[in-house]
Amino acid sequence: MANERLGSKGLFNKHEFVRIIIQSLYSLGYTKSAACLESESNISCKSLEFELLESQINDANWDDCIGSITKLKGLSDETRASALFLVFEQCVLECLSRGDNSLALEILRKQISRLQVNKEKVHKLAVGLVSLKELGLSKLDYEIIQDLRSRLLIELGKLLPPPITLPERRLEHLVEMASTAQIENCMYHTSNMTSLYEDHHCNRDDFPTETIQILTNHKNEVWFVQFSNSGEYLASSSCDCTAIIWKVLENCEIAQKHTLKGHQNAVSFVAWSPDDSMLLTCGNMEVLKLWDVETGKCKHTYGGDGFIVSSCAWFPDSKRLVCGSSDPEKGIFMWDCEGNEIKAWKGARMPKVTDLAVTSDGENLIGIFSEKEIHILNVRTNSERVIKEENSITSLSVSADSQFFIVNLNSQEIHMWDVAGKWRKPQKYKGHRQQKYVIRSCFGGLNSMLIASGSEDSKVYIWNGRSPYPIEVLSGHLKTVNCVSWNPSRPQMLASASDDQTIRIWGPNSFKQM
């Protein structure tokens, strides 16, 4: 049985397969079933090598334990040294607990100091032992020693490689990898559910390809639209100087909740607070306003004294916000919800800001400066990375997992970059039309690998992130589509805003029958 293969292609070993099942049963709490399977199959979840180490550690046979680790095959020098350090560390602690300080010092000087491990770890251990001795805490009772030995075994289990030990929850990891691979190969992935009973596949019939509702409440061009983080609301802004908060009903219909009035010019941008309790609106060449979503009342107005706001974004705590100005001397300001300034990036050398966003983890502030430069500022470390594009950038959007962002260019391309800077070149997406207008795109789908964008040819374009060419082109609007937004909790729902003064809600054909 040791070399018996399973699967139609014989790719994996039966012994390993059963051993991983046993581990999974133990991790799920089915200890009796796991023990029964071990007995019936004559396969142990633990290897013979690890069982020997466990016995030696529990019996405090330290010399034998060190000899066993020294003889283990397949270990790198670094791993072997780290394993021996853990064992010697336990030896020293137990020597101190018996009052054998001289032996503890000898192990520290002669054994641990020889190991090829980080010298800081050795120094930290030495300082810790002196502190224990000075505080009179060197006497450890039996239960504490047994607990420390159990922790040592856990650490060795994490450190030693297969087949000596198994990585934690190995079966769950393998199943998750297989499911993820199927999802990534699914061109139309919008399903909330995946099943282990059958191979994953999303059908085009479940994809937003049909207009299910047209919203006509705005009286002029609609420039921006965005679903809230929970997907329960939608916000839109228009050249009619208003913004509207909409409610997404259970039957997937959209109903007007509040009309927000107060701007003197066209409203070009909105941003939901992460907790969906507040909404920011930017007036075109005007101020920034903060609104209460429940009441529809304006809570605060930012940006007086000629501060022209071009874009805004929230930090994940829903207590801090940032806004950028197209006036180079104004730069970027961070405020709280009461209007108190927290921080500012400004000065004569500060370029004008055309768009900005904050990653959902709050780590990075991403801004479009001087039309062709992307600046990624780490708020915590103040480190900065600059990406230069050859053509003017009109807008940006960040993925929900904070790993990627896309920028729209007036060269009729969308570029996707990774936030961490691993890519030297962007992924490129083509097909839509964009030259004169500010077109805004968005990420969508459950794995953030669907990208949607408006277009000057009155259409909505949708790409799967792995392909540069659109998988769907949605027709219905009569003029330029300025902005699109994917519902984060209902990935089969998409909204688009257009110069034809309408907002279209897109969904599968099945939505029209509800």
The closest of 291, 294, 292, 317 to 302, measured between CA atoms, is 291
Written as six digits, the tokens of 93 are 């602690």
- Integer CA distances (angstroms), 288 to 120, 282, 283, 298, 299, in order: 51, 5, 7, 11, 11
Cα 374 to Cα 429: distance, rounded to the nearest angstrom: 18
Share of the chain above pLDDT 70, in %: 90
pLDDT at residue 257 tops 90: yes
Long-range residue pairs from 150-154, CB within 8 A, at least 24 positions apart, any chain: 152/57, 152/86, 152/87, 152/90, 153/53, 153/54, 153/57
pLDDT digits (tens, 9 = 90+) for 244-253: 999 999 988 9
The closest of 396, 399, 475, 470 to 439, measured between CA atoms, is 396
pLDDT tier for residue 205 given thresholds of 50, 70 and 90: confident
Give the pLDDT score at 306.
67
pLDDT tier for residue 344 given thresholds of 50, 70 and 90: confident
pLDDT tier for residue 135 given thresholds of 50, 70 and 90: very low
Q: With beta carbons less than 8 A apart as the criterion, state whether 274 and 264 touch.
A: no
Give the pLDDT score at 137.
45
Share of the chain above pLDDT 90, in %: 56
Mean pLDDT score across all residues of the chain: 88
Give the pLDDT score at 22.
96
Cα 460 to Cα 209: distance, rounded to the nearest angstrom: 10
Angle between helices 62-71 and 77-97 (to 10 degrees): 180
Give the pLDDT score at 433.
85
The closest of 472, 456, 476 to 464, measured between CA atoms, is 472
pLDDT digits (tens, 9 = 90+) for 266-302: 999 999 999 999 999 987 777 899 999 999 999 999 8
Mean pLDDT of 111-122: 73
Give the pLDDT score at 478.
97
Give the pLDDT score at 445.
66
pTM of the complete model: 0.76
What is the Cα 154 distance to its own chain's centre? 29
pLDDT at residue 324 tops 60: yes
pLDDT digits (tens, 9 = 90+) for 456-494: 999 999 998 888 999 999 999 999 999 999 999 998 999
Cα 390 to Cα 280: distance, rounded to the nearest angstrom: 31
Give the pLDDT score at 321.
94
Burial of 142 (0-12, 13-18, 19+ CB in 10 A): exposed
Mean pLDDT of 399-426: 91
